[in-house]
Structure 1
Amino acid sequence: MRYTLLVVSCLWTAAAFGQDPIKVGNVTISGSLRSRTEIWDYFQGAANNDYAFSGNIFKLSFAQTAKKVDWQFELAAPFLLGLPNDAIAPAPQLQLGLGGNYFGANSARRHAAMIFPKQGYLRFKGLFGDKDQSLRVGRFEWMDGGEVTPKDATLAALKRDRVNQRLIGPFGWSHVGRSFDGFEYKASKGAITYSVVSALTTRGAFQVDGWGNLKTGFSYGSATGQVGKGKNVGEWRALAVYYQDWRHVLKTDNRAAAVRLADMNNIRIGTYGGHYLHKIESSAGIFDFMLWGMLQSGKWGRQDHRSNAFDLEAGWQPKVMAKLKPWLMGGVTRTGGDNDPTDNKHGSYFQMLPTPRPYARIPFYNMMNNQDIYGILALRPHKAVTIRSEFHSLSLSNRNDLWYVGGGAFQPWSFGFIGRNTGKAKSLANQWDTSIDWTINKNWSITGFYAYVDGKTAMRAIYPNDQNAQFSYIELNYKF
């Protein structure tokens, strides 16, 4: 406890250095502090489902930009305060909200803190005399889709919120996050950008120790192109990912426990697909649509793996209520589920290493064996204020498979995904949520969030006492 309080005191002091990055010669020193109070009223189970805790992370970065080589070294110090020590129930209920996840992942401590290198890399620019080629080597944060940002503002926002980090991401919404140890190569030829990344996954996400990496890794290649101009523009991406997990931990799937215990073989999965975004401006407003789809094949331990996923979405920014700048969106996501736990085929779509939260704002589900029919309304009443509200009708794609939760590998001894058997009940829940983001100035911002979940038949099979849940938080961000 004394160590934690010392860390908190030092970090708040560091945040008071100034309102702008510090320059020491050619080195830029910058940092950020995020503090979030989470309030959980999870589905009622055989443990505490109603609690609050404080999750925080401070980052301090040293960076230099030169003509041929850039470098960055960043330290992170997550500190968790007041974690619930009674929010983990016996199976199948397990962790009742993310407070239970953090407590269990940090050696059953109510207060936990650590300092570790979040990033440390060199970026070589102008390879082979070509200014559009670069190579980054070391530890870095990375997300699939983030290799290119469209110049068009609508496409850029759509890609940021509805495409990026569905497969692989830094899990930045968690209080620790994850990084990758490896390399990233990028090259641009005309309107097309090519990207190749190969890396190992670091520890982190829910455990404050982010020092080492894991026996999980991936190789990723993509080509991203821009099409059209003016009021009629689009972007496409084609990608392939090879993912391998050789930790020999107990896999989460719908087979019997004894069968899973006897299968510690590696996971080796290839994922192939891409996305297409398009925007059209008309007299009725701005219309957009998004198509994202993946096919998977490979080995799930001893099983053959085959699955798929798609998301189809459309949006409209009408010219009415111009002061509010409304943006209406709606779509459907569907991913493969496994139909037969006794055969030699694994059909559950595997999300690998995502950042689940942008697509599950109260993260009691992810994109595995999931069908999500959703609607979104975003308002911008002021340039510094964004209001966003979402509705999700959630169900399992296949009733013979599990209800999956989690965001991928984050420590050597646990798989990273949890599955619950709903007894072939398929309807999961309806979810409503609202967030308000206020950018106070260039250094400070604040977010408020509230979500309500109306549990359905699948939820009743796991939580018979109360299938409804609520989640809210207040988050303060400071950067210099």
Structure 2
Amino acid sequence: MNPFRTGAGCARRIFLSTACLPLAVLVALAVPRAVAQSASASKSPVTVFVYDRTRMDAWQWFAAPPYANSYAYVQTLQRLGMSQHLHRWDWELELSQPSVLDAPDNAVSPVTAQGQLGLGGTYYASNGNNSYPAAAFLKQGFARFDGEGKNLRVGRFEFFDGEETKPKNPALAWLQSSRTSNRLISNFGFTNAQRSFDGLDGQLQLGSWNVTAMAARSDQGVFNMNGNPELNVDVQYLALTHPEAREHVLWRAFAIGYHDGRTGIAKTDNRPLPVRSAEHTNIRVGTYGGNLTAAIPAGPGQFDFLFWGAVQNGRWGSQDHRAGATALEGGYRFGKQAAAPWLRGGWFRSTGDNNAADGTHNTFFQLLPTPRLYARLPFYNLMNSTDEFVQVMEKPVKRLAFRSDLHWLQLTSGKDLWYAGGGAFDNKVFGFSAHPANGHTSLASVADISADWQTTKNVNVNFYYAYSQGKSVVAAIYPSDRNMQFGYVEFVYHWSSAPAGKK
């Protein structure tokens, strides 16, 4: 079967859900009028912005006959919003309308070890076994006080760990946005419904030092098209960030508190299902770490270096939790221009659990990330994983960028699981899926290529293709065909009424 066939008979069923609208969002809805009344002397126009993303996905998952491993579907995402700056205040309201068209109804295997056969099966199962799920909901609604060197925001918003500053050095900015941030807290932007948070956050700028804090509750969304309700999952974040040496070096220290009170859901770990199903105890995990990134001129180009690390403690239900992860990366850009070829390589390792019965959970827990930044072929994540990779990037012209990666993937512990996913997204499932390792550690090798083309000021066309050769872990679960293909073509339109150079 051709894995890149197009879906037929695509129709939409759009519904609007207003359940569980948080108090913080109701406050944010009322604030713009109050702010406008108190700042009549400094009125500014309302900015309207539009974002539209249409993506055509094609999968050839590891074979699990007689269930479909080859299929295609379409995702559409519209985000429409408005914002305004009023003296030292600003506000923003944004609606989101995600849809999935022709999600496969036969890409979920009843064989527990095989599970959902790609993200098409995940979308189908996460929306009440619906091939055409759609919804509309409040994506963001907040008010923010913006003083000199300090700000405070309250309401519903998106949050990205590690993006507290905006480096002027282009290489450092790319390393921050693509290789250190979003590892633990993010909006899961690759998915159609994405993720928001209800709460508050703020920043304090002390010279070149930046202090960022956030406390919020995660909202539903991601694979579930209704992103309106809150989940009983909350996070607290504190980070200290500082640039050094003419912005060639940037470092950050952070601490994160995570709590999952969804006690009726079986946790995803390597204990037997009856044990996990009988446990109804909260997860409370503390994560402490930091990162150092550098882009240093050297000869005709520049070297880059990255270190990221974190340790965790706390309670995994009835178990103690002890885990950690480390990333080391480096590269060289052959020239000082943004278009110069850039060759990089790296190594990542996170802990796994070697004993399901010892009362201690040692699997590194990725919290609420955007996993695809670090797993571009989305069939794994950063839990119980070891990743050695090389990547090359090229920008032959200003509006066209190419990238290709090679990854050699292993599980850190063959007594643990092969994990995938990006965290809690509704009240029916845990949010991370897993397959048994069966004592094996060799997972897969992956080769991919992408092209991102900014065709006009407001339109981008993006292409991605990946091929994975499964190893012993995959072969034990999918003996018929251990190889995978995934690709998509994506069209993005974005427009804002704000003058050029302003949000």
Shift of 1:394: 0.2
Percent identity of paired positions between Structure 1 and Structure 2: 40
Match of 1:183 among 174, 182, 200: 200
Residue type at the aligned position of 1:458: V
SS at match of 1:293: strand
Question: What RMSD over aligned residues (CA atoms) do the two structures have, in Å?
Answer: 1.6
Q: CA deviation at 1:284?
A: 4.0
Aligned-residue offset at 1:66: 1.7
Which of these residues, 362, 368, 382, is aligned with residue 367 of structure 1?
Answer: 382
Report SS of the residue matched to 1:34: strand
Q: Does 1:226 align with 2:243?
A: yes
Q: Tell me whether 1:198 sits opposite 2:206 in the alignment.
A: no
| AA aligned opposite 1:345 | T
Residue identity opposite 2:46 in structure 1: V
**Deviation string for 1:164-205 (max 9, x for gaps)?**
100010011101100000001101001110000000000000
Does the 8 A contact of 1:70 with 1:123 survive in 2? yes
1:107 counterpart residue number: 128
Q: Which moved more, 1:441-450 or 1:145-154?
A: 145-154
Read off the aligned partner of 2:172 and give its amino acid letter. Answer: L
The one-letter code of the counterpart of 1:67 is H
82, 91, 95: which one pairs with 1:75? 95
Maintained 8 Å contact 1:323/1:381: no
In the superposition, the TM-score normalised over structure 2's length comes to: 0.89
CA distance in 1, matches of 2:297, 2:242: 20
Return the alpha-carbon distance in structure 2 between the equivalents of residues 324 and 133 of structure 1.
Answer: 36
CA distance change for structure 1 residues 470 and 292 in 2, over 3 Å: closer, same or farther? same
Aligned twin of 1:239: 254
Contact 1:106 1:112 in 2 (8 A): yes
Is contact 2:339–2:398 with CA below 8 Å preserved after alignment? no
Q: Which amino acid aligns with 2:60?
A: D
Q: Could you say if the C-alpha distance between residues 188 and 454 of structure 1 is closer, same or farther in structure 2, counting changes exceeding 3 Å?
A: same
Q: Tell me the residue number matched to 2:82.
A: 62
What is aligned with 1:477? 492
Q: Which of 35, 41, 52 matches 2:72?
A: 52
Distance 1:423-1:5 versus aligned 2 partners, 3 A rule: closer
For residues 359 and 441 of structure 2, what CA distance do their matches in structure 1 show? 23
Aligned residues: 457
Distance 1:6 1:140, change over 3 A: closer
Are the aligned partners of 2:13 and 2:132 in contact in 1 as well (CA < 8 Å)? no
Aligned partners of 2:193 and 2:222 also within 8 Å: yes
Q: Secondary structure at the match of 1:84?
A: coil
For 2:277 and 2:134, the matched residues in 1 are separated by 33
Structure 2 residue 349 is matched with structure 1 residue 329: no
Distance 1:318 1:214, change over 3 A: same
Measure how far apart 1:422 and its partner are.
2.0
Greater mean deviation of Cα atoms: 388-397 or 150-159: 150-159
Structure 2: gaps (5+ residues): 1-8, 16-42, 496-503
Tell me how far apart the structure 1 counterparts of residues 11 and 108 of structure 2 sit (CA, whole Å). 26
Q: Aligned pair in 2 of structure 1 residues 184, 284: CA closer, same or farther (>3 Å)?
A: same
CA drift at 1:147: 1.6
Query: What's the counterpart of residue 10 of structure 1?
Result: none
The one-letter amino acid of 2:133's match is A
Match of 2:59 in 1: 40
Quick check: 1:318 aligned with 2:338? Answer: no
The answer (yes or no) to whether the contact 1:371–1:395 under 8 Å persists in 2 is: yes
**How far apart in 2 are the matches of 1:244 and 1:229?**
39
Give the AA of the match of 2:107. A
CA distance, structure 1, for counterparts of residue 331 and residue 417 of structure 2: 31
Q: What per-residue deviation string (whole Å, max 9, x for no partner) do you get for residues 33-56 of structure 1?
A: 000000000100131000000011
Equivalent residue for 1:412? 427
Q: Distance in 2 between matches of 1:101 and 1:41?
A: 14
Q: Counterpart of 1:224 in structure 2: which amino acid?
A: T
CA offset at residue 151 of structure 1? Answer: 1.7
Runs of 4+ aligned structure 1 residues displaced above 2 Å come to none
CA contact (8 A) 1:214 1:412 kept: yes
Distance 2:366 2:57 in 1: 25
1:4 aligns with 2:12: yes
TM-score normalised by structure 1 residue count: 0.93
Matched, 1:149 2:166: yes
Aligned residue for 1:229, secondary structure, equals coil
1:256 aligns with 2:272: yes
1:69-114 Cα shifts (integer Å, max 9, x gaps): 1000000000110110000002110100100000001111111111
C-alpha distance in structure 2 between counterparts of 1:448 and 1:174, whole Å: 16
Mapped pair 1:85 → 2:93: no
Q: 1:390 aligns with which of 402, 405, 412?
A: 405
SS of equivalent to 2:122: helix
CA distance in 2 between counterparts of 1:201 and 1:34 reads 23
1:2 deviation in Å? Answer: 10
Q: Select 2:301's aligned residue among 285, 290, 293.
A: 285
